[in-house]
């Protein structure tokens, strides 16, 4: 597997950051490359919630069915593909006080073996790195705005 990890500080509590990411409807807002993300189960949060997703990485469109496999309120959300493009993604929220946290965005992906898999890996790797970095920037900005709205409510 290939791992891409971005660590970013955020002007929001870990609880607010977790709450923002825990709402699946926010995902396409901070991951611009997602063109579709649909729940497949009535359950839309917590371990076992399952979604169908499509992501555009440069010239390649990838589909996955993912399931939430880790859900620790205020600290971690992890997903893993159960069908399609192999991907594991984890968001960790490290509390730094009422107005600050650090977010770790970790993406592991695997391409199929053989020549086609190697070509796919070489094609998407720079796009994955850019997507994770861009998504983390969008996430930090959106979480700070979400936190400010919650604090003023």
Three state DSSP letters for the chain: CEEEEEEEEECCCHHHHHHHHHCHHHHHHHCCCEEEEEECCCCCCCCCCEEEEEEEECCEEEEEEEEEEEEECCCEEEEEEEEECEEEEEEEEEECCCCCEEEEEEEEEECCCHHHHHHHHHHHHHHHHHHHHHHHHHHHHHHHHHHHHHHHC
Give the model's pLDDT for residue 23: 95
Mind listing the pLDDT tens digit for each residue in 60-77? 888 999 999 999 999 999
Band (pLDDT 50/70/90 cuts) for residue 50 is very high
Q: Note the pTM of the prediction, 2 decimals.
A: 0.85
| 52 against 128, higher pLDDT | 52
Residue 2 has pLDDT above 80, yes or no: no
Give the model's pLDDT for residue 109: 78
Mind listing the pLDDT tens digit for each residue in 77-135? 999 999 998 889 999 999 998 899 999 988 887 776 777 667 766 767 766 777 777 78
| 131 against 139, higher pLDDT | 139
Mind listing the pLDDT tens digit for each residue in 31-43? 888 889 999 999 9
- Domains annotated for the chain, with CATH where assigned, are 2-152 (3.30.530.20)
Residue 1 has pLDDT above 70, yes or no: no
Give the model's pLDDT for residue 101: 96
Give the model's pLDDT for residue 107: 85
């Amino acid at each position: 597997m290939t791992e891409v990890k971005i660590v970013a500080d955020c002007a929001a509590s870990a609880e607010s950051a977790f709450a923002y990411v825990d709402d699946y409807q926010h995902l396409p807002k901070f991951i611009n490359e997602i063109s579709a993300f649909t729940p497949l189960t009535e359950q839309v949060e917590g371990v076992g919630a399952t979604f169908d997703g499509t992501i555009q990485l440069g010239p390649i469109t990838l589909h996955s069915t993912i399931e939430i496999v880790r859900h620790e309120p205020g600290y971690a959300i992890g997903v893993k593909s159960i069908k399609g493009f192999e991907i594991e993604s984890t968001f960790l929220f490290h509390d730094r006080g009422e107005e600050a946290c650090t977010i770790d965005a970790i993406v592991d992906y695997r391409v199929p073996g053989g020549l086609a898999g190697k070509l796919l890996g070489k094609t998407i790797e720079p796009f994955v790195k850019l997507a994770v970095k861009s998504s983390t920037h969008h996430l930090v900005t959106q979480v700070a705005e979400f936190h400010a709205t919650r604090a003023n409510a």
